Structure 1
């Protein structure tokens, strides 16, 4: 599909042992501003992936950040990342286990970008040990004042909010780490730095991404901003490189989208499977993620509770499960990721995969060489502030020659656990496999 658009991936730096072309695939956006989409093989957003590979890759990126902040050499994974991408047995778990080995903790403020980098940013914060984590959100929440906002220029939904429960962890001259899944031009993160620096100047910023696609002019723009603000700005990524785009890429993308039908998955018969619910007993007052901030003490508590919740999920699967998808919900990526990881550890006999639903409209083409094979389309179910709209789950329905999931665990926060969910996404999912819904409480201020 990339060849039909004339798009080419060019490998660059490989600090983690894997090149750009190993870490991403290409797809076509249904977006008038940007024709192509890089589909990450380790993000767990559009492609169901071993959760230990997703979390291990995030920890690995965090290790690059930690080393840059401390001025030392990062721990190297050898061939584990590449082996995990190739599906070598036990490589994903070995990468995760290596990268979660305790290092000297580093104090930092880590900011992740919604929706794709909410779990990635959280994983980076985990790797630093002593970091405060906050991710941007497109969901206004009563009782939480906006700290700042910024615009993501290429996104189809650009309003972002920072809604910390407490501003004190942000109002410090600690290094600020800004985490996104890719650095294409770097404009979004530089805009964020300018906005943050105007509120509270800081001496050091680090941009962290799975892949860095910036050219010389983009890098010069970062250096110019650092000089103008009188601060230091560094950048780290698992892999570097570039995407070569031909002239007229937007027009070619529009023509391709118009010329190829991308029908939503429609079952051949009435849904044959049921929907059940499972009670995780999510710890009281523990945030479900970083929307309102996540402190090191929260992390300690979650790590203690994860094995128990993984056992609860494992017990609910039944003995005949062999291939299970843990599906998260838009910005709610980290809790489903860690639950999927705990489930995979609890049931080593089961092939556990993890991905999440998304707002992003992408062309699906059921071809083995294309990153987005199938799509489920369903209505939004959390009363979004920008109004109702379509939402998507990619590569969940089986395409030609792809294996089915025999269980689906959908992890949702209570704000999204609505009748619209029951009538929409859950109907789509139960056409595929038995569905278990695990609801976690969305963090609220104590009344």
Structure 2
């Protein structure tokens, strides 16, 4: 991939060759922390007629393996940016969170630093921003958090419903107590990036229809809205008589030329066969550590799954006091898993929406640990330097078999052990279709709820 960069006044212009003849032109016009764009993302081509390109984040822990500290620090840096914006203070690049993202340090305090006077309701977008939203929430001493979900729970009504129109999995649901929203508190929406902002406008419209209030904030790592998109938010503010604050780490405009012409690359099996697979049941090893939420689900190919969810996932709502306790629970799991590990180079994998707690646990494990997650996003795999999806695997979701899942960028012979985290027990036969592709010498599958 060839990247060309031209600096003109305060803006930076970049031309990125994604996959020939597809090019992405970036005009970065807001960069308060002086990030190089390739410190935050790479580009890839999506298998999606609605949007052909994807910003593959290097700090999110989704499609690319990262130091888990980076994912947590990204949420905290966005929270720090929010606080300074609210207080009218100038942003500064002298932040420990910035240093983590720029690989200058790896340690930082994750103690909440936003005071009790700020009491927002924070909503993370599934599936990509569930961990980012909860990492952002970590900074608040007096807030509530929940994330939207793709899960379809039996006999439970979603209190709000909206669409992410460019996504492959478009429907968002919210399974929380409606009393949480029966107030005038500020709502903060957290997503990894905005291109048009249409998803954010959809959820604000849906929320405001049932739970009106005056103040909203949209937080994202990247903000690529053009003037037309920004004007749509101004029109929404005027129509609903609300204010919408925008917080991001990097902003500008994006233009795409051409569609990718994909040549099927010959598949080469670089991988060694796995030598060991093991299942770890946290409910058995650390009894009563996580609270349960009993919501059965079903899908077209499997019977009811009656194993409970964990209450602390964020799907059903969390307050700041519970979040402090969650940190100590994650530390207990990390300590236990360190006793079980056999390898030196470890990959921890979150699954679907279940991202934050695996990331937090991974950050507390000893030694060389990377973190990423499975995804529903189909991306063209292209093994070229600087491309955002160089390796890829496709498999049925162990949780909902008819849903196709993917995982990207696990290079051959990089890890000698992997820990795969599931919120609850999944079908063993469907799971095996994923595990057989990993070909990592030691595979540890960690279930927080359920025992075989």
Q: Same fold (TM over 0.5)?
A: yes
The alpha carbon displacement at 1:81 in A equals: 5.2
Partner residue, 1:291: 315
Q: Would the alpha carbon gap of residues 65 and 107 (structure 1) be closer, same or farther in structure 2, given more than 3 Å must change?
A: same
* Equivalent residue in structure 1 for 2:145, among 129, 133, 146: 133
1:437 to 442, 445, 450: 445
Question: 2: CA distance between counterparts of 1:144 and 1:292?
Answer: 12
Matched, 1:78 2:94: yes
**Partners in 1 of 2:130 and 2:344 — Cα distance?**
28
Asked whether the 8 Å contact 1:17–1:82 carries over to 2, the reply is no
Distance 1:274 1:132, change over 3 A: same
1:52 CA drift (Å): 0.6
Superposed, which structure 2 residues align to 1:45-444 within 5 Å? 45-68=62-85, 70-73=86-89, 76-78=92-94, 80=96, 83-88=99-104, 91-94=105-108, 97=109, 100=111, 102-105=113-116, 106-164=118-176, 166-246=177-257, 249=258, 252-253=259-260, 256-257=261-262, 259-261=263-265, 263=267, 266=269, 270-277=273-280, 279=282, 281=286, 282-285=289-292, 287-318=311-342, 321-343=343-365, 347=366, 350-383=367-400, 388-398=402-412, 404-415=414-425, 417-429=426-438, 431-441=439-449
Contact preservation (8 Å) 2:69, 2:100: no
Q: How far 1:42 moved relative to its partner?
A: 0.5
C-alpha distance in structure 1 between counterparts of 2:209 and 2:163, whole Å: 16
Structure 1 residues 304, 155: closer, same or farther in 2, change over 3 A? same
Distance 2:77 2:266 in 1: 35
The alpha-carbon distance between structure 1 residues 295 and 266, as it changes in their structure 2 partners (threshold 3 A), is farther
Q: Distance in 2 between matches of 1:378 and 1:288?
A: 27
Q: Answer 1 or 2: which has greater strand percent.
A: 2
Which structure shows the bigger proportion of residues in helix conformation?
1
Q: Deviations over 1:45-67 (max 9, x none)?
A: 00110001110111111222233
The 1-side partners of 2:437 and 2:281 are apart by 19
- Unmatched segments (≥5 aa) in structure 2: 2-15, 293-309
CA distance in 2, matches of 1:266, 1:288: 39
Q: CA RMSD in A?
A: 2.2
Distance verdict in 2 for CA 1:113–1:8, change over 3 Å = same
Structure 1 residues 420 and 32: alpha-carbon distance in aligned structure 2, compared to 1, 3 A threshold: farther
CA contact 2:125–2:147 (8 Å) conserved in 1? yes
Matches of 1:20 and 1:243 in 2, distance apart? 13
TM-score, normalised relative to structure 1: 0.86
Shift of 1:389: 3.5
Deviations, residues 204-245 of structure 1 (Å, cap 9, x unaligned): 000100011111111111111111111111100011122221
Establish whether residue 6 from structure 1 lines up as the match of residue 23 from structure 2.
Answer: yes
| Contact residue 372 and residue 395 of structure 1 kept, 8 A | yes
TM-score, with normalisation over the residues of structure 2? 0.85
Task: Find the aligned partners of 2:360 and 2:156 in 1 and give their Cα distance.
Answer: 26
Measure how far apart 1:278 and its partner are: 5.1
Q: After superposition, what is the alpha-carbon deviation per residue over 1:124-151, rounded to whole angstroms, capped at 9, x for unaligned?
A: 1221222111111111113532111111
